[in-house]
Structure formats: structure tokens, C-alpha cells
Amino acid sequence: MKIGIDISQIVHQGTGVARFTEGLVNSILKYDKDNSWTFLFYSLRQNFDSELEKKIINKGYRLIKWKLPPTLVYFLWNNLHQFKILNLKFKINLDWFITSDWSEIPLTKVNKATIVHDLVFKRYPETVNQKILNTQELRLNHVKKESKIIFADSQVTKKDLINFYKIDPKKVVANYPGVEVNKPSRNEIEKTLTKYKINKPFILTVGKIEPRKNLKKLIEAFIKINNQNLDLVIVGPEGWNENIQYSVSRVQYLGLVPDQELYSLYSACEVFVFPSLWEGFGYPLIEAMNLNTPVICSKIPPFEEIAEKAACYFDPLNIEEIAQIINKVLTDDQLKKKLVESGKIRAINFSWQKYYQKLINALYDYRS
């Protein structure tokens, strides 16, 4: 097959969609032996990773780079629903063109597949920027009408697509993303802790700083634990409309950190806590499990599906309960050991080879 794919979201470092896009591209380069790929990247200010570009070219695939602002592309697709302008620069015979719910450029007479990561804007609209909410709503309505197949990151997201948009269940394929980490050395861990002046023991949380990540309640719960020897470390890029009081004693906000340093933080922390109100998948859960870290997270359907029995759960709106569950895991060595062991087993299920194979099989099955 000849397959095109939009990989523009790869530049948004520190976000789940960027991690997903990078993982998907690398899985295609690693596992595909039979198909021809065309990768599309558009950005006005961001440059494409030179090392990844070399890998794509060395495999004999095509990389198209446009110096276009994403806002213009989104406007043409969503608001005007015009694609002839873009097609002038994209003349290639394709069997499929793959996009995500964050970037959709339809091509005439080409089968379209869309990867949908989550429907947070439908579940918790108050936690989403109004501009993003409007854009997503328009985009998903186009996807419903024009995509021949839709891939969802979880069964929960598949059900949301069916329930919110009345999409034929036969068109939606749940496919778990792969999650890969590089285990840090003891020296790398020590260097990271020294660099950021982090004292052990500490709790770690990871994610873009925005309302649905529920960090305010986590900080309030952390204060209630009242352990003067314990720190809370927050990692993630700044998002929108979230005024977090990082000046709270023993709370450290590091911003975005390189992946290997992030893996060191997972490895060094006492527990990983994910208090999000909603996610489509939850990369940090599996990253933590892969690095033998006990996981504590919100009791929400996506996390229960992804983590199953390999995590301890709390009501993300109940500060007292968040504090109690964190304290319970911190003080129970047997429980921590159980979470680590079950986490290692659960994490095996999320491989990029599995994701790639299910994607390709579905494209062959749904091809006209």
C-alpha cells in the first residue's frame, strides 16, 4: 500500500500527542517492510528533527515539509473545509492518508483514516480552552462524515466516539499505543536529582499544566499528608488557564525536562501520582510501570482500562481520599511491591510492534 500520514504534532514536546506521534513514526521505520510511506510535516517556526529526517530518507520514504502556520491549515480544513490549495503541493497517488484528531487534511479520492486520542472536550468542556473546543468539535464532525476508519487509543474513547457522534461501531478500532522507555543508570539518576536539587523521598506527577490535570487538588492533598520529609515534584510544559501556587513548601515545578531525565525521576520517586480528571490513554501510567514505580491514579474509566489492577485508585475530586491513598501506598511496603510487580506485567501489553501491526492489518481490511 501507499500510505500518507500527517506527523506535524511531533513538535509539541511534553504532550501525549507528541510522544504518540514520535513512537508511531519510529514503529513504522522499524517494523514496516512492505508499504510505501509519505510523511507530511507542516510548521511555520518549528524545524523537523534532522536525525529522524535522515532515518525516513534512508528507508526510501518521502518527507514533505511545508512552511505553513498550523492555524492557517486548521482554518482551511475546519472553517472553510477547503483542500484544493493544499493538494497542489501534495500530488501523489495514495491508498490511505492518516491524520489525528489534532490535524486533519483530507485528500480527494483517497481513503482517510483518523486517530482519535480522546474526547476530553466532550467529557469536561470546562477544562478545555474555548478555541480548542470549537476546533475539535468542527474537526470531529468532519471525521465522522469522511473517515473510512477511526482508530481510538482505548475502548473508552471508542465508546465515546460511538455515543457522542453516533459513529458506526464497525468503523472504530481500539488500538493501544506503545510505550517505550530507556532505563536510566544509577549515575544518570543521581545527576538528575543533583541538577534539579531534588531531595528524596518525593512524589512525582507528570503532565501538561492545565485544568483537567487536577494539580490544585493534588497539591492540597499533598499538604494534608503533612510529612515534612516528603516533596512533590511536578513535571510538564505550561498549558493554559491554570494558576498553580508552586510556592507551597516542598512542591517543586520543573517544567519540561528531557526524556532521559524524566525516566530518572520516575525511577527515583517513591510513587507516581496521576490525578487527571480525564485522559484518552495515559502515557505516564505505563512509563512509570515500565520503570518499576508504584502507580496511584484517578478512578476514571480510561485509567481503570489501561492500568487494571496495577494501580491504586482515588476519587480525583476528593482531596481527603487522594491524601489517604497516597499515604497508604507510601507507608505499606508490601502494597508498593505488589504494585511494582503487577505494573511490570501490565506494561508488557503496550508495545509499538503490536500497535503498528493492528494499524496495518486494519488498513488492509478496510481498503476499498
Distances (CA, A) of 336 to 188, 287, 305: 24, 16, 20
Q: Are residues 170 and 235 in the same domain?
A: no
Phi, psi of 249 (to 5 degrees): -55, 135
Question: Rounded CA gap, 114 and 226, in Å?
Answer: 46
Q: Are residues 174 and 233 in the same domain?
A: no
Residue 240 has pLDDT above 80, yes or no: no
Amino acid at 66: W
How many domains does the structure of the chain reveal? 2
Nearest to 158 by CA among 277, 278, 280, 279: 280
Phi, psi of 277 (to 5 degrees): -75, -30
Omega into 201 within 30° of 0, i.e. cis? yes
Helix (H) or strand (E) segment spanning residue 227: none
Question: What CATH number should be reported for the domain holding residue 262?
Answer: 3.40.50.2000
CA end-to-end span of the chain:
12
Q: Are residues 169 and 200 in the same domain?
A: no
Q: Are residues 202 and 233 in the same domain?
A: yes
Question: Rounded CA gap, 87 and 73, in Å?
Answer: 12
Question: Rounded CA gap, 348 and 344, in Å?
Answer: 7
Quick check: 91 and 102 in contact, CB under 8 A?
A: no
pLDDT at 295: 98
Q: Are residues 285 and 357 in the same domain?
A: no
Helix axes 16-31 and 352-366, enclosed angle (nearest 10)? 80
Residue 80 has pLDDT above 70, yes or no: no
Q: Are residues 51 and 152 in the same domain?
A: yes
- CB neighbour list of residue 129: distance below 8 Å, 6 or more residues apart: 240, 241
pLDDT at 243: 65
pLDDT at 77: 67
Quick check: 293 and 269 in contact, CB under 8 A?
A: yes
Amino acid at 77: W
pLDDT at 277: 96
Q: Are residues 358 and 332 in the same domain?
A: no
Q: Are residues 59 and 190 in the same domain?
A: no
Quick check: 193 and 259 in contact, CB under 8 A?
A: no
Q: Are residues 227 and 151 in the same domain?
A: no
The lowest-confidence range among 35-39, 70-74, 151-155, 252-256 is 70-74
Residue 286 has pLDDT above 70, yes or no: yes
Domain residues for the domain of 83 are 2-178+351-366
Q: Are residues 199 and 145 in the same domain?
A: no
Residue 368 has pLDDT above 80, yes or no: no
Tell me the mean pLDDT in the region 56-78.
83
Q: Are residues 41 and 147 in the same domain?
A: yes
Residue 152 has pLDDT above 60, yes or no: yes
Residue 88 binned pLDDT confidence (cut-offs 50, 70, 90)? very low
Tell me the mean pLDDT in the region 51-67.
94
Q: Are residues 105 and 127 in the same domain?
A: yes
Distances (CA, A) of 109 to 102, 142, 269, 366: 22, 15, 51, 15
